[in-house]
Every structure is written in structure tokens, then in C-alpha cells.
């Protein structure tokens, strides 16, 4: 079952989806807080870039047009391919030969990964060295086929906002820390980095984002599903185009970068190369060759590293921060119309890719014995728990029989889990996919019951206790707390 009644025209459905997306905007100037430190919003994006990259659908059918039909199912199956290797091997960090558009050799210095130098702009942040940027193409003498200042990384999307870019820097430093503290060569440090990353995904991130019971059940159940489809590794569109986009609702409109800068979301984008010019959003003519040293983030604002409480992400709900209605251009592409509006873009893309309604998938899981009947949310129930503007949009005939999957995932998190984590359907879709992919990794920590962290005595020695905070500190990014 698709979004709408079969009697409605495609143009009527598209108009209804646009109105719903327009209604999904946080109207208050100060957004609400959820329970999770803001780092997990962008760690989620970092994970996404490591496992998914689908670029064909926008060429098969643009969505910024008044009318279009969903892609034929055969076209989706045959032409939409995931360009990432998928099974949690950090090819977004280490690169992969043969990846389009160009084979970017990830820079190295011997056994270590190379780091970029920060521009000497503003006052330095105490405790921060001058190697807290990505390696970049020279601004004054760009290389053929590369943009000036383009980041030399396995997935350039990790330079689309400043926090994810700094997360990438943290993983470069994590690799180097294994070389420095344990004397590992490049290959062994790579495996150590991948496995500690996998542990944090499984035992920290997933258990914060999903129902823990669902995660535990999936670890058992997923073993049974593995053998029958071991030769068919694919990325479910229900995950990549809907369920895993829950993180968009967690984005705030402002962030505390460090002791010097409290910035708007627009500055997170403009201080990158992919979405900006490495300069302030309100001064387009001001640009730097690399990230200024006064824009290096202090991780204590993003994770519980010190006694100072970190900033919290927005709750997982049906509203998005207002700046996400006016996204900037990406590299040489200028966004217009619905492409600027993230909620509208997500809803229309789900329709283009023929995603079922949330109720359709929930009923399928109920029949399979994976979801309780009382967890099914009907359209009227969802309508009763959202804002008046959303209610008005949901009154459209397009949504009387079913709810777009992405919106359903956000609504059940809001209604059933108070925005603190995903609801039952979202938890199943996310946990099943991530754990299933993690099992396929040639370096999977799930291939052995004996794997434990190897960070030393100052860090957790049991895998279930390892968190993102521990990796950041081990990478040498624990912050100087004194003001």
C-alpha cells in the first residue's frame, strides 16, 4: 500500500505530501530538548555515510516538479544500487578503490592517516593542536577533476557539516592513537578502529536510539535470518529512505561549538567545503583555506566528557528545526523549491521509491509475530497527537488510510516513546538492518564471543560498557575544561 488512496491522482498526492512537509516545522524559536547528547545526531549521520550512498534515483526522476509517478518496481530493483560497501568497514574513512566519481587516495603518513592543518584565524582553543581539519585540495592550485578545498576523504559527504567533519577527524585520530599507543601497523590499526567503531554502534548508539529489548531480540533472531540470504547483501529502502532518517528531527537550530562560538545551524554548513566555502554563513565573501582554529569543536559540549553537561539533541518527533526548510547548495548544485525543504524532500522521495505506509509495514510485522497488535498506530491516533498545522495537513484524503513511512516512524517515537528513542517499528527496521550489516563485516565483532575493547586500563574493558565518549577521549580529544 502506497501513501494514498488509489483514486487520487499523482499530482494530488504530491501536493498533499508537500503540505505535510511544510507543516513539519518547529515554530518556536527555542527548540525542545530530548535525552541524547547532540553528538549522537551526527554520529548517526557518520554511520549513514559509512553504509549507504544511493545517487541514481535523482537522475531517474527529479522530485522538484509539479507531478511525477513512483518509479516502477523493476526499475528500483535493477537500477538503484548502494555505492558503499555496506558492512561497517569504514570505507568512508579509509576509502575504496573504484568508488565514483574518482579514486581518491586517502592521504597517509606512514602507518598513520594524514590530518589537515587549521587556518590561524581567531584565538586558539586551549588544548587543541593545529591538526584538527581534514586534508584538502590546495585552494590556490586545485587539482584536475577536484574542487578547490575539497576534502580528501573516502566519502565527501562527511564534509557537509562541521560536526560530522570533526567526527571524521576524530576517527582519523582514533586510528593514529592505535598506532601511537600500541605500536600497530596501518592494517592492524584499521581493524582495531573498525572493531571499536562497531562496538560503539552496537552497544552504545543502537541501545540509545532503539528499544533495548528489540536490539537484544534482533541479536538472536538475526542469526536465524542470516544463512538464507547470505549471498544477497542489499540495503532496504524502508531503512535508508525512511526509518534511518529519524535523525533529521534531532537536529537543533543552534549549537555551542566551543568556548568562543555559539553558532546557528547555517554556520555548521558554511564552515565546510561541500555546503559552503569554509567561512561564516552571513559573510559569503569571507572564506578560509582550511577550518579556522577557533572553529574546532570542544567535545565536552557534545558528549558527557566532563562535569559540564553536554547540549542535548532535539527529541525524535514529527517536527524539524526551521533552518532545515532552507538548505544551502551542495558543491556546484544550487537547491531550489522542495530540494531546499528537507521534510518535503524526504516525503516526496519516499513516494518516488514506492515506500509502503507505516501501517502496511507494521501489519506485516504483526503477521510475522515481530510486533504486537497494540503497537499499531492508526491515522486518527497519529493525528490526535500532533500540532494543529500537521492535523490540517493530515486531513487530506491522501492520509486517511495510511501514513507515509518516514512520518509514521517519527510519530510513533513521539507518541509511544515521548521522543526519547524510536518506537517499536522504527526500532525493528533500524536494529535489523544495522545488526544484519554488522554481521556481514569481515572484521565483525559478532563473529567472536571473545572480542573486548583494547584501549587500556583507563577505559572500559567490557564491550557492553564502551561508548562514543571513550573513543573520543582515546583519540586525544578530551577537552581542557577550565574556563
pLDDT at 306: 85
| Helical H segments across 233-274, by residue range | 237-240, 265-270
In a domain, 348, yes or no: yes
In a domain, 483, yes or no: no
Beta carbons of 432 and 222 less than 8 angstroms apart: yes
Residue numbers of the domain that contains 165: 10-477
Q: pLDDT by residue for the chain (483 residues), tens digit each?
A: 555 455 678 999 999 999 999 999 987 655 678 899 999 999 999 999 999 776 556 667 888 888 888 988 888 888 877 665 557 899 999 987 445 444 567 999 999 999 999 999 999 999 999 999 999 999 888 788 888 999 999 999 999 999 999 999 999 999 999 999 999 999 999 999 999 999 999 999 999 999 999 999 999 876 544 445 555 667 889 999 999 999 999 999 999 999 999 999 999 999 998 888 899 888 878 899 999 999 999 999 999 998 889 999 999 999 999 999 988 766 555 566 788 899 999 999 999 999 999 999 999 999 999 999 999 999 999 999 999 999 999 999 999 999 999 999 999 999 999 999 999 999 999 999 999 999 989 899 998 888 999 999 889 999 999 999 999 999 999 854 443
In a domain, 280, yes or no: yes
Measure the CA–CA gap between 108 and 74, rounded to whole angstroms: 42
In a domain, 3, yes or no: no
Beta carbons of 281 and 124 less than 8 angstroms apart: no
Measure the CA–CA gap between 235 and 92, rounded to whole angstroms: 16
In a domain, 404, yes or no: yes
Q: What is the CATH number of the domain that holds 25?
A: 1.10.640.10
In a domain, 339, yes or no: yes
In a domain, 454, yes or no: yes
pTM of the model: 0.92
pLDDT at 483: 30
Quick check: helix, strand or coil at residue 254? strand
pLDDT at 167: 98
* 268: nearest Cα among 247, 253, 283, 289: 253
- The total number of structural domains in the chain stands at 1
- Provide the Cα torsion 38, 39, 41, 43; round to 10°: 180
Beta carbons of 355 and 238 less than 8 angstroms apart: yes
In a domain, 86, yes or no: yes
Neighbours of 10 (CB within 10 A): 14
pLDDT at 29: 55
pLDDT at 481: 46
Amino acid at each position: 500500500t502506497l501513501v494514498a488512496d488509489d483514486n487520487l491522482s499523482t499530482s494530488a498526492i504530491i501536493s498533499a505530501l508537500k503540505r505535510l512537509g511544510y507543516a513539519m516545522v518547529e515554530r518556536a524559536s527555542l527548540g525542545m530538548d530530548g535525552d541524547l547528547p547532540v553528538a549522537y545526531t551526527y554520529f548517526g549521520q557518520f554511520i549513514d555515510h559509512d553504509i549507504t550512498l544511493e545517487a541514481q534515483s535523482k537522475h531517474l526522476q527529479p522530485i522538484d516538479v509539479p507531478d511525477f509517478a513512483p518509479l516502477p518496481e523493476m526499475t528500483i530493483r535493477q537500477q538503484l544500487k548502494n555505492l558503499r560497501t555496506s558492512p561497517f568497514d569504514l570505507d568512508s574513512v579509509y576509502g575504496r578503490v573504484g568508488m565514483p566519481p574518482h579514486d581518491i587516495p586517502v592521504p597517509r603518513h606512514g602507518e598513520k592517516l594524514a590530518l589537515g592543518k587549521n587556518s590561524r584565524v581567531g584565538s586558539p582553543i586551549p588544548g587543541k593542536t593545529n591538526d584538527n581539519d581534514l586534508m584538502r585540495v590546495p585552494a590556490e592550485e586545485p587539482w584536475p577533476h577536484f574542487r578547490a578545498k575539497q576534502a580528501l576523504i573516502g566519502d565527501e559527504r562527511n564534509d557537509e557539516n562541521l560536526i560530522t567533519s570533526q567526527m571524521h577527524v576524530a576517527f582519523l585520530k582514533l586510528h593514529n592513537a592505535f598506532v601511537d599507543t600500541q605500536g600497530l601497523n596501518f592494517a592492524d590499526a584499521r581493524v582495531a578502529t573498525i572493531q571499536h567503531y562497531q562496538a560503539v554502534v552496537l552497544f552504545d548508539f543502537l541501545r540509545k536510539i532503539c528499544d533495548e529489548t528489540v536490539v537484544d531480540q534482533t541479536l538472536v533472531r538475526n542469526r536465524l535470518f542470516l544463512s538464507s540470504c547470505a549471498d544477497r547483501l542489499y540495503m532496504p529502502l524502508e531503512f535508508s529512505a525512511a526509518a534511518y532518517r529519524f535523525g533529521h528531527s534531532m537536529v537543533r537550530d543552534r549549537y555551542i561549538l566551543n568556548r568562543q562560538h555559539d553558532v546557528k545551524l547555517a554556520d555548521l554548513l558554511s564552515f565546510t567545503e561541500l555546503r559552503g566555502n569554509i567561512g561564516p554563513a552571513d559573510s559569503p565573501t569571507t572564506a578560509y583555506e582550511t577550518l579556522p582554529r577557533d572553529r574546532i569543536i570542544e567535545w565536552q559540549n557534545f558528549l558527557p566528557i566532563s562535569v559540564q553537561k553536554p547540549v542535548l539533541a532535539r527529541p525524535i518527533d514529527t517536527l524539524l528545526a526551521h533552518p532545515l526548510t532552507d538548505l544551502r547548495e551542495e558543491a556546484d548544485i544550487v537547491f531550489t523549491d522542495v530540494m531546499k525543504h528537507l521534510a518535503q524532500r524526504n516525503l516526496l522521495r519516499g513516494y518516488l521509491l514506492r515506500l509502503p505506509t507505516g501501517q502496511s509495514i507494521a501489519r506485516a510485522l504483526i503477521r510475522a509475530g515481530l510486533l504486537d497488535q497494540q503497537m499499531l498506530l492508526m491515522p486518527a491516533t497519529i493525528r490526535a497527537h500532533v500540532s494543529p498545522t500537521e492535523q490540517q495537513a493530515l486531513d487530506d484524503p491522501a492520509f486517511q488510510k495510511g501514513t507515509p513511512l518516514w512520518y509514521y516512524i517519527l510519530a510513533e517515537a513521539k507518541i509511544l516513546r515521548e521522543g526519547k528513542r524510536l518506537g517499536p517499528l522504527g526500532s525493528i527496521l533500524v536494529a535489523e538492518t544495522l545488526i544484519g550489516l554488522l554481521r556481514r563485516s569481515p572484521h565483525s565483532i559478532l563473529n567472536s564471543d571473545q572480542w573486548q575493547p583494547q584501549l587500556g586500563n583507563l577505559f572500559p574493558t567490557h564491550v557492553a560498557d564502551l561508548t562514543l565518549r571513550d573513543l573520543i577521549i582515546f583519540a586525544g580529544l578530551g577537552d581542557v575544561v577550565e574556563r
